[in-house]
Amino acid sequence: MSHRSVIKAVVIGTSAGGMEALSKLLPAVPSNFKAPILIVQHIAPTSDNFLARHLDSLSQIKVKEANEKEKIKPAIAYVAPPNYHLLVEDDLTLSLTVDEKVNYSRPSIDVLFESAAYAFKGKVIAVVLTGANQDGAAGAALIKKMGGIVIVQDPKTAQVPVMPESVMKATQPDYVVTIEEIPKLLVQLIK
């Protein structure tokens, strides 16, 4: 059985510059995409759901804010709401918490990545995009250790390279590519 047939989800983390990066990445994901996509973008606690609405208006797949106890489905991108951690439960529903900030962030990328690593038994692709801190590095390393795939935006092309670079220090990514290459890669990996 090929590694590729077993991927069950994509998790994406981004911070500074993320709105622009996601506005390039998500619209290029085809409407028949075979996996759910879970997204943490660091945003101000007081933000509204503009990010999800904006990305939904650009994209072929549905983009929405994640809800508590929501069952995840393929070809939908779930965005962590402002000021909530987004986690995947073992029954593959979503859960939202207001637990302490992790890496000064809520939502935290590590919290999503680590919960996804366990819920999907490592059968997950972690994507780390532009950002200004190290959130996501530990989570990406765990996904890689559990047999998942790690993709980072090429730091040379990231608006803020710190986040992709910190993942490259924490683990060996499977792919280091431009934002434009990521959607095609995801489609190939989730045939």
Active site residues: 15, 42, 135
Return the pLDDT at 4: 44
Return the pLDDT at 49: 85
pLDDT, one tens digit for every residue, the chain (191 residues): 344 448 999 999 999 999 999 999 999 999 999 999 999 999 888 888 899 999 999 999 999 999 999 999 999 999 999 999 999 999 999 999 999 999 889 999 999 999 999 999 999 999 999 999 999 999 999 999 999 999 999 999 999 999 999 999 999 999 999 999 999 999 999 97
User: Which residues have CB under 8 Å from 7's CB, separation 6+?
Assistant: 35, 123, 124, 125, 148, 149, 189, 190
Q: Give the residue numbers spanning the domain of 137.
A: 3-189
Q: How many domains does the chain have?
A: 1
Q: Domain containing 162 — which CATH number?
A: 3.40.50.180
Return the pLDDT at 1: 36
Look up the pTM and report it.
0.96
User: Which residues have CB under 8 Å from 165's CB, separation 6+?
Assistant: 155
Q: Are 36 and 62 within 8 A, CB to CB?
A: no
